[in-house]
Structure 1
Amino acid sequence: MRTTNTYFIPALLLFFCVSLFVSCKNRSGVSPKTGVAYNDPYNGGLQINRKVKEGPGPGLIVIEGGTFVMGGSLNEDITYAHDNLRRRVTVASFYMDETEVSNADWLEYLHWLNQNFPDDKELYYNALPDTLVWRHPLSYNEPYVDLYLRHPAYQDYPVVGVTWEQANDYCIWRTDRVNEHILRQKGALVDYRTLAESQGRPAEPFNTDIYLNGQYRGEGIDGEKMPQDNTPGTEDGARRPVRMEDGVLKQPYRLPTEAEWEYAALGLVGNTEYGNIESSKIYPWDGLGLRSAKRRTQGLMMANFKPTSGDNMGVAGYLNDGGDITVSVTSYLPNDYGLYNMAGNVNEWVRDVYRQLSFEDFQDFNPFRGNVYMDKQLEDSETGVIAKDKYGRPIRIPAKAPRKQTWEELQAATATPDSTGATFDYDVRGYADETNNELYGVTTLVNDKSRVYKGGSWNDRAYWLNPATRRFMQQDESDAMTGFRCAMTLVGSPEINIKSKPSFPANRTRAQGDRKILGIF
């Protein structure tokens, strides 16, 4: 009997392990609902990718979301604006730029525009920052007009003089360049060397939406390592473009929402234990002061700002913050999320339209004020071909319906693409709070083009370093104190710091696998 048990137990374990292996293999290669195999060219060719390698795009840091009191870090409303009333909200996990966008980053953008559209002087001119923001009638700032953007001494300083509109254009451009680079590196598009030797630049610039719609293909475009096409009826060895389902391409870069920016700036993840916030913050760092309390850096300023009138950098021989204007985007210590200069240096644009009472109006999950619903215009609704502008980007038109249209409605809408419809308000950024045209310019400067900026700058007092403070400027205006950084939506599980909390074994295994896939561990 003892001998039987000795052999029986290992055999049972072996059977269990084999069964588990087969089960896991089946789960990854077979539909759990129909039993039909994925990625089989003989049964329809449905391709499901179970080995997703999703992660942050270049320059981004993952921000685990959660609940926090928006406006709660402000202890005194010294402006009596009453525009940052406390409200508990939830922010979904997302990615955010480690640093502000620098002059070198912007010069890369300008260089690409000049290379790909050498004859379009208007496009290049419109992308130029307004360097005249440095001019002031009673200050000699004229050298910055010519030197700040282009001199290599300032290459790692934050770009300024950019409008909210220009910042959004940069996000769109960055999305396409990152995805194009991914595809060329993987061989789904021809590599840079082949491209350069053949024609120097693409006949039509790459656009993510156009590519995903199958409209960016052909000789001189398709790479040798495109994914295999398992569609029935295709020739052996047929290839296809990368799809969103493959998990290769990145989500769009964009400006962060006001709630995302404030949440990331506070960095409460460093003050949390077992789901409780142990201590609150006034600034992106701990404590009530503006100077470092650590022994080795005691007394050093924690940010680049203007402590008092007439003091932009301190006394010669021992400058207090090391900056007369802006400083490098990696100056000072990062906050608990690893983000640099979330207070001081430059103010930063966010996506939201400014309204004094936004805190009362917006939702408590992913709060945002500024939705203008736009759809990609179809050139042919039967084939789904997207209409393109002269830069190879989708033409976007106002949304015609709040929900998916019927096939008949879609055909009718395509027949009259300029019609906005009469029953759906696609522009809801004011949330039923219309601009008072009679009072605008008389008692108020707030309208639907007023955008929020936050964070304080090199020329601001300490009050504006608090993440809860908010100001606004027209989306087509700029100044020498405002720049920006980009964000990106995180897909999949919101949990990042799973090792710091207990969880059920099955969930922990699944979550750890997800996080490894994301490249976080």
Structure 2
Amino acid sequence: MQLLTTARNCVLLLSLIGAATSCNVFKKKPEKSSVTGWNYNDKTQGNFYVAKPKDINTAPGLVFVQGGTFTMGATQEDVMGDWNNIPRRVTVNSFFIDKTEIANVHYREYLYWVENVFSDTTAYPEVIEAAKPDTLVWRSELAYNEPYVEYYFRHPAYNYYPVVGVNWKQANDFCVWRTDRVNELELIKKGYINKNNIKTEMNGGGQENFNTKAYLMGEYQVQPGKLATSKSNPLKDAQGRPRTTVKFDDGILYGDYRLPTEAEWEYAAYGYIAENPQVKRGKKSRGEENIANKQIYAWKNAGFDNLRSTKAGAYQGAFLANFKRGAGDNMGVAGGLNDNAAIPAEVTSFAPNGFGIYNMSGNVSEWVADVYRPLTSLDEDDFNPFRGNVFKKVDMSRGTGNLRDSLGRIIMVPESDSALRERRNYQRAYAKNYLDGDSLSGVSYGYGITTLISDKSRVVKGGSWNDRPYWLSPGTRRFLEEDQSSSTIGFRCAMTHYGAAEGTSRKAQTGNFFPARRAKR
């Protein structure tokens, strides 16, 4: 009898729960605007869609770098006598950067796409040629490097060696291409773009190839995917109908791949997070804001000026980077090769630094976004410092539907200085040469007359396989014209991190939060 009563009670309880559920007793209330009181994501109240904060996915190839303050500039004695890296304290916000340098196979993937999309050589005669790296950078009058000219970029043995012979402009174009390919694939996987789109593109699509900015502006029309037109599509318009196009604020698309700024590159190279041990504070842990030593190279110091692994074991004495030890010594002696690499080595060779990034000291030097000036550290801001801005806007004079160039990208033009006169934060769109000389003297850099520095001079960071140890320090800096290349220079990409500087998880918050206290009466 008791068992029968218990069973009846259970049935009654389940019935009540089912009824309550059907009456939406347990239905979560929609998020409400704290300024208007209207509901978000509610089709009865306008259906203003607000994406919920969630874990921020790291885009392919990147690692998260938690920002902070550091002393940017010289670490060792200025043996070159340039005095172009005067130490100064700056802050860099959190960002993403490539785990490795861009390899030959990655750049060949880019060329493969260019060769197929712009296969109509009559309409695009220079696009393919302009994208190819200059393999002649290996050539020397007094050395036999012809095999590298022919095979370094193409031979499968060098697939994962860093690409070289790429100038700054080509590296920048690669970043634009990578942004579009990653976002296009994301939209295909999510079901917002038809997967057959890529076939059309790769069949000589030309201008009709996916570009993130053109897609967001409605200038690039594409066949929607299955989810985009289905009732299960979470994106709805004001009438509650499925929205076939994605907006950036939907939280689906990634940001732009780009070259890192000089400050970002140098900060990431030091990997100082490994120098700041975590201390337990109740249930949480936090670093003590202590950096014991100014690092010389990208790896944590275990002794003075150490270029070899000092940890006891199989790797003790092994070189920690690919560089030139001295005149005529690029790899050591047979049977005891010091860095085991005569030319660039694979991009995952040698030990990663504190952020998990490979070869920030040695292997190949790398392009960064900045325009070079010897006294940059005296001019730049101390938060996210960068020289090279040209502030642009969309060229709307062409009219809606005609805003793309022949490559399918939105045409951007510099802002008009006349429209900026009343602004207080900036008054000129072209800021590459900002603070060059004073207005009274009219002093400026005279390229080819008094200096080799111009607005096309771009900063090169990090030492290479053919450099002495001095150049391996992240604080050192050199420059090269943006349309030139070298057998010792490659690159890696970066991406801006949106949201809390602490990290990428949903629990990461900006600022410190304390328990609320009720005021005393």
> Would you say same fold, with TM above 0.5?
yes
Indicate whether 1:86 and 2:103 are aligned. no
Q: CA deviation at 1:180?
A: 0.3
Equivalent in 180, 186, 202 of residue 190 of structure 2: 186
Alignment of 1:16-415 (within 5 A): 25-26=28-29, 29-72=31-74, 74-119=75-120, 120-192=124-196, 196=199, 200=203, 204-218=208-222, 221-226=223-228, 227-228=233-234, 230-233=236-239, 237-273=241-277, 274-287=288-301, 288-296=305-313, 297-379=315-397, 387-400=403-416
Q: 1:432 to 1:145 in 2, by over 3 A?
A: same
Q: CA deviation at 1:157?
A: 0.2
Equivalent in 436, 443, 450 of residue 433 of structure 1: 436
Q: Counterparts of 1:82 and 1:365 in 2: how far apart (Å)?
A: 22
- Give the AA of the match of 1:232: A
Q: 1:249 to 1:269 in 2, by over 3 A?
A: same
Q: CA deviation at 1:438?
A: 8.1
The structure that is helix-richer by fraction is 1
Equivalent in 471, 475, 486 of residue 482 of structure 2: 475
- Partner secondary structure for residue 269 of structure 1: helix
Q: CA deviation at 1:339?
A: 0.3
Q: CA deviation at 1:23?
A: 13
- Give the AA of the match of 2:407: Y
Q: Counterparts of 2:178 and 2:356 in 1: how far apart (Å)?
A: 22
- Give the AA of the match of 2:117: N
Partner residue in 2 for 1:492? 499
Given that 1:195 and 1:201 are in contact with CA atoms closer than 8 Å, whether structure 2 keeps it comes out as no
Q: CA deviation at 1:44?
A: 1.7
Q: 1:232 to 1:300 in 2, by over 3 A?
A: closer
Normalising to structure 2: TM-score of the pair?
0.82
Partner residue in 2 for 1:11? none
Given that 1:210 and 1:386 are in contact with CA atoms closer than 8 Å, whether structure 2 keeps it comes out as no
Q: CA deviation at 1:93?
A: 0.2
- Partner secondary structure for residue 35 of structure 1: coil
Q: 1:75 to 1:248 in 2, by over 3 A?
A: same
Q: Counterparts of 1:245 and 1:184 in 2: how far apart (Å)?
A: 18
Q: CA deviation at 1:228?
A: 4.9
Q: Counterparts of 2:420 and 2:103 in 1: how far apart (Å)?
A: 40
Given that 2:457 and 2:481 are in contact with CA atoms closer than 8 Å, whether structure 1 keeps it comes out as yes
Given that 1:39 and 1:45 are in contact with CA atoms closer than 8 Å, whether structure 2 keeps it comes out as yes
- Partner secondary structure for residue 359 of structure 1: helix
- Partner secondary structure for residue 148 of structure 2: helix
Given that 1:228 and 1:237 are in contact with CA atoms closer than 8 Å, whether structure 2 keeps it comes out as no
Deviates more, 1:481-490 or 1:370-379: 370-379
Question: 1:17-62 CA distances to partner (integer Å, 9 max, x unpaired)?
Answer: xxxxx99955x62212222111122322210011444222100000
Q: CA deviation at 1:497?
A: 9.4
Given that 1:344 and 1:456 are in contact with CA atoms closer than 8 Å, whether structure 2 keeps it comes out as yes
Q: CA deviation at 1:295?
A: 1.4
Q: 1:405 to 1:52 in 2, by over 3 A?
A: farther
Q: 1:107 to 1:195 in 2, by over 3 A?
A: closer
Q: 1:403 to 1:487 in 2, by over 3 A?
A: farther
Given that 1:189 and 1:222 are in contact with CA atoms closer than 8 Å, whether structure 2 keeps it comes out as yes
Q: Counterparts of 1:195 and 1:316 in 2: how far apart (Å)?
A: 49
Q: 1:438 to 1:463 in 2, by over 3 A?
A: closer
Partner residue in 2 for 1:464? 471
- Give the AA of the match of 1:427: Y
Partner residue in 2 for 1:455? 462
Q: 1:197 to 1:55 in 2, by over 3 A?
A: closer
Given that 2:116 and 2:202 are in contact with CA atoms closer than 8 Å, whether structure 1 keeps it comes out as no
Question: 1:190-217 CA distances to partner (integer Å, 9 max, x unpaired)?
Answer: 014x753999575710000011112333
Q: Which runs of 5+ in 2 are unaligned?
A: 1-24, 278-287, 516-521
Q: CA deviation at 1:444?
A: 1.5
- Give the AA of the match of 1:290: L
Given that 1:378 and 1:385 are in contact with CA atoms closer than 8 Å, whether structure 2 keeps it comes out as no
Question: 1:82-132 CA distances to partner (integer Å, 9 max, x unpaired)?
Answer: 111111000000000000000000000000001111123410100000000
Q: CA deviation at 1:401?
A: 5.3
Q: 1:256 to 1:197 in 2, by over 3 A?
A: closer
- Partner secondary structure for residue 29 of structure 1: coil
Question: 1:205-263 CA distances to partner (integer Å, 9 max, x unpaired)?
Answer: 00000111123335xx2111124553334xx6433211111111011000000000010
- Give the percent of matched residue pairs that are identical in Structure 1 and Structure 2: 46
Q: Counterparts of 2:463 and 2:115 in 1: how far apart (Å)?
A: 33
Q: Counterparts of 2:201 and 2:219 in 1: how far apart (Å)?
A: 21
- Partner secondary structure for residue 397 of structure 1: strand
Q: Which runs of 5+ in 1 are unaligned?
A: 1-21, 407-422, 508-521
- Give the AA of the match of 1:462: P
Given that 1:40 and 1:230 are in contact with CA atoms closer than 8 Å, whether structure 2 keeps it comes out as no
Given that 1:290 and 1:301 are in contact with CA atoms closer than 8 Å, whether structure 2 keeps it comes out as yes
Given that 1:400 and 1:424 are in contact with CA atoms closer than 8 Å, whether structure 2 keeps it comes out as no
- Partner secondary structure for residue 226 of structure 2: coil
